[in-house]
Amino acid sequence: MHKTVTKLADGRELIYYDTEPTVRDAVDARPLEPAASVSEIRIDPFTGDAVTIAAHRQGRTYHPPADECPLCPSRDGRLSEVPAADYRVAVFENRFPSLAGSSADHVAPWSDGPYALTPGTGRCEVVCFTSDHGASFVDLSEQQARLVLDAWTDRTAELHTRPDVRQVYCFENRGADIGVTLGHPHGQIYAFPFTTPRTAQALARAAEHLRATGRNLYDDVLAAERATAGREDSRVVLAGEHWTAFVPFAARWPYEVHLYPHRRVADLTELDEPARAEFPRIYLDLLRRFDRLFPEPAPYIAAWHQTPRPAETELALHLELFTIRRTAGKLKYLAGTESGMGAFMNDIRPETAARTLREL
């Protein structure tokens, strides 16, 4: 992997990732003013959850036409967020971030009785998987998918060195049904200054399991799923030498798959080379199966779960992939029970979903 770090016109960082040394000297010629982030992190007094308030994002880019895509390369006089005329993988600071270090310049910590807020520091980055506007992650070659993995890993390593970052979250939203506002194939990285609520809950469960059994919860779950491989009721979808993909026992979404490396690690930086080399084949296979579920490509969220810093050794790196579509033309809405109470109701048995994905 070859990495080139440069700046955009308003001072935001832009990073090119290439498979070999490449000259990246294009200059951003847009007349941009430095952006100011005024995010706040407010603590819910009833749950302790951190809620980010980022009112400055209301004016962000929303469903631009393809010929005005801000993630495409700058070509034919049209200037975008990527000054180069072409690129392999590009990562840059979000122009409309939910979290940014500059929030500390505009928001002061405050508390009053049951209420407290702090500046919404941290960082939000955009990861462009390819310069091809019409592609999707599933269309990438294994070499290109490996380059994206290397970019995720590099960003995780760098962001974890920042004093205002507690947890690094790499993810992709695909499809208008998910809420994607830019059609170019891309993902995002959020560097949170707090441990996210779902991760905090998972850490508590893992600690409870360790106290009760003396074993790691993630090791036990992976072992239980791998032991069923080959059975009709198995939830394993596919497996390689270093990774296993399975539908979770208590899946919340109609089609939900978790992808685990066989060797437990805390985050992407700790994956060994054999696991890195196998990942593109396994992950692209999994995405192709999702795209065969329905007549149209499945809208999905792909989410890397990584250990916060300082390291919480009981949490294991894994990827969670799920679609909000429950059948052709029908979405799984988060209505009364899910949105109101956080109590998920799934219309498809996990074992049935796994069998369907295996057969695809």
Q: Is the dihedral of CA 241, 243, 247, 248 positive or negative?
A: positive
- 16 touches 90 (CB < 8 A): yes
Q: Where are the domains of the chain?
A: 2-194, 198-359
pLDDT band of residue 253 (cuts 50, 70, 90) is very high
Q: Is beta strand 167-174 parallel, antiparallel or unpaired with respect to 186-192?
A: antiparallel
In terms of CATH, what superfamily is 2-194? HIT-like (3.30.428.10)
Question: Percentage of the chain surpassing pLDDT 90?
Answer: 91
Q: Is beta strand 318-323 parallel, antiparallel or unpaired with respect to 186-192?
A: unpaired
pLDDT attached to residue 313: 74
Q: What is the pTM of this model?
A: 0.96
Residues making up the binding site:
69, 72, 133, 184
Name the least confident of 27-41, 193-207, 244-258. Answer: 27-41
Query: Mind telling me the catalytic residues?
Result: 186
Residues making up the binding site for Zn(2+):
69, 72, 133, 184
pLDDT attached to residue 36: 78
Q: Is the dihedral of CA 221, 224, 230, 231 positive or negative?
A: negative
- 166 touches 192 (CB < 8 A): yes
- 2-194 and 198-359: same fold? yes
**CATH code that applies to domain 198-359:** 3.30.428.10
Tens of pLDDT, residue by residue over 328-352, are 999 999 989 999 999 999 999 999 9
In 3-state terms the chain splits into helix, strand, coil percentages (rounded to 5) of 30, 25, 45
Q: Which residues pair with 128 in a beta bridge?
A: 90, 186
pLDDT over 90 at 185, yes or no = yes
